[in-house]
Amino acid sequence: MIKLVRIDHRLLHGQVAFAWTPELNVDAIMIVNDAAATDDTQRSIIRMAKPQGVKLAIKTVDDAIATLKSGKTNDLTMFVIVGNVEDAVKLQHGYPEIKHINLGGMKVREGTRNLTKAVNLLPEEEEQLKQLIADGIEVELRQVPGDKAIPVQKLIK
């Protein structure tokens, strides 16, 4: 069972490992990112940030969808972290059981609009999020578990 899907360009880092993971009380973290899954150095760095006692998988988007659909993860409570909106959309379309997405960290890039101090969206990402919301997916902004969740539709028009 997926407890939370989070979009965070940093993937696995201190805030995720030490605030979100204990709060969600998960057995496993699945990093879903094509670049990380195929880069030995990035995989090693991610493994170093893994909290003790929690399983870790680093998958491409397609492999993550196949794994989730296979039922291999049904007996786990999981925290899924993707690196960007596009991957989150692809994952949700491939595994429609995902009904809730958290926007955590999205860095400033050329052409982005700042929604919060940590979330910056390109116009096409805003459109993708609007479509998820129209499809009935709850999309919220929240940095750490103690923050009040802000529905994204309040910030994008």
Closest CA to 156 of 118, 113, 117: 113
pLDDT in tens, 83-127: 999 999 999 999 999 999 999 989 999 999 998 889 999 999 999
Worst-scoring range by mean pLDDT, 15-24, 72-81, 131-140, 144-153?
A: 15-24
Query: What is the per-residue pLDDT for 136?
Result: 96
Query: What is the per-residue pLDDT for 67?
Result: 97
β-pair partners for 150: 141
Provide the residue range defining the domain that includes 131: 2-154
Closest CA to 34 of 59, 15, 11: 59
Query: What is the per-residue pLDDT for 157?
Result: 74
Query: What is the per-residue pLDDT for 17?
Result: 84
Report the range out of 12-16, 96-100, 152-156 with the highest average pLDDT.
96-100
Q: Would you call 30 helix, strand, or coil by DSSP?
A: strand
β-pair partners for 119: 106
Neighbours of 38 (CB within 10 A): 11
Do residues 83 and 6 lie in contact, with contact meaning Cβ atoms separated by under 8 Å? no
Amino acid letter at 138?
Answer: E
Residue whose structure tokens are 């910056």: 120
d(CA 98, CA 91): 8
pLDDT in tens, 16-38: 888 999 999 999 999 999 999 99
Q: Would you call 53 helix, strand, or coil by DSSP?
A: coil
Query: What is the per-residue pLDDT for 14?
Result: 82
CATH number, domain with residue 37: 3.40.35.10
d(CA 56, CA 82): 14
pLDDT in tens, 31-75: 999 999 999 999 999 999 999 999 999 999 999 999 999 999 999
Query: The pTM is what?
Result: 0.94
Number of domains in the chain: 1
